[in-house]
Structure 1
């Protein structure tokens, strides 16, 4: 008899419920609270993997948890978000699922208003911390590929270099380089419509317009 369908998180995202995953989410919560507090007067959307990620000192206007079929929370939906276009000034996206990740970025770009900003938290594939999620089913992309996906979705990353957060690698000589930390934070903005200025034509004298 086939197993009954459920709304449990996809198995790869279940890693964030482990002690190692919780350390990553705890480091991200500090930054997410700052982001949401700075945007408290504007509509914000927060998509997270659950497992304690949704606990913060500041709440987003809409916070949805990844589920087996899409997202749940105040809204239950598939990868297509039932939200109006250009309706959020900020989108916080934690750990995009591998399946349908590019389509989700396109949806986030659609609901983001012109001039709005997206924050993407992703695991760093070159960090030694990757040994903690080895064989969990997580498929990790590097920051270069994420930036290309964001640009393909119509977002601009040119003004926002990657940031490195979370657990750091330490050796006998001390802490390792910043880019060896467990989390990569990317930012992207949605440009507004370009305004093209048309130079005014000089007035042309027309014969007979003024009496001689």
Structure 2
């Protein structure tokens, strides 16, 4: 009797394929679904891990692209790689749900390019300080400080991070609410693209070093 063929390609990523990781992804999606609903109806892009199950997606606002990691690029609504096949300043929100470390700087640069001024990037990372990570280190890789460095390099304004998910066991959290408690499983970083304000030329009198009388 021939051996059963595996459901994934040899060497394919198994990040977030475990039961605990899938539960965490579902909690994150519920939390983000509520937050995106309060945002203006602008186009959005959601990049998820390869192990994301299509049936677990919530129903986010319309006019968006939902992609997941696939081979060396992304698949889902469209199949593409980096750079993203999108024009500049076309998206209001970009969601990076536990992105791989490969090409991190290029990915953040692309996200900043496609965001409009005032657009937000929602970055979900495994909290490196949470005991939850110890359950499966390979399935739940820790987040490093490099992501914030890449965001600041693109001129993104980073808000105070919040934390969601369980702090240790898979106890249900009603409403998937966020918290400032730093031992919870997932760290959420929200960064906003800020445009440069136009500089008005100084009046001629000011250029000569004298200001007009009040």
| TM-score under structure 2 length normalisation | 0.77
Q: Where does residue 140 of structure 1 map in the other structure?
A: 142
| TM-score under structure 1 length normalisation | 0.78
Instruction: Return structure 1 stretches of 4+ with deviation > 4 angstroms.
Output: 6-12
1:178 aligns to what SS in structure 2? coil
Alignment CA distance shift 1:164-1:36 (3 Å): same
How many Å separate the matches in 2 of 1:133 and 1:167?
A: 14
Alignment CA distance shift 1:135-1:63 (3 Å): closer
Q: Where does residue 57 of structure 1 map in the other structure?
A: 59
* CA apart distance, 1:7: 8.3
RMSD, aligned CA: 2.6
Gaps of 5+ in 1: 1-5, 171-176, 204-212
Gaps of 5+ in 2: 1-6, 170-179, 207-214
Q: Where does residue 25 of structure 1 map in the other structure?
A: 25
Q: Where does residue 115 of structure 2 map in the other structure?
A: 112
Within 5 A, what are the aligned runs for 1:35-184? Answer: 35-39=35-39, 41-50=41-50, 51-52=52-53, 55-59=57-61, 61-136=64-139, 139-142=141-144, 144-157=145-158, 160-169=159-168, 178-184=181-187
* CA apart distance, 1:202: 4.1
2:190 to 177, 187, 190: 187
Alignment CA distance shift 1:27-1:133 (3 Å): same
Rg larger in 1 or in 2?
Answer: 1
- Cα offsets for 1:166-205 (capped at 9, x unmatched): 11137xxxxxx811111000011111123213222249xx
Q: Confirm or deny: 8 A CA contact 2:133 2:142 kept in the other structure.
A: no
2:35 aligns to what SS in structure 1? helix
Aligned residue pairs: how many? 187
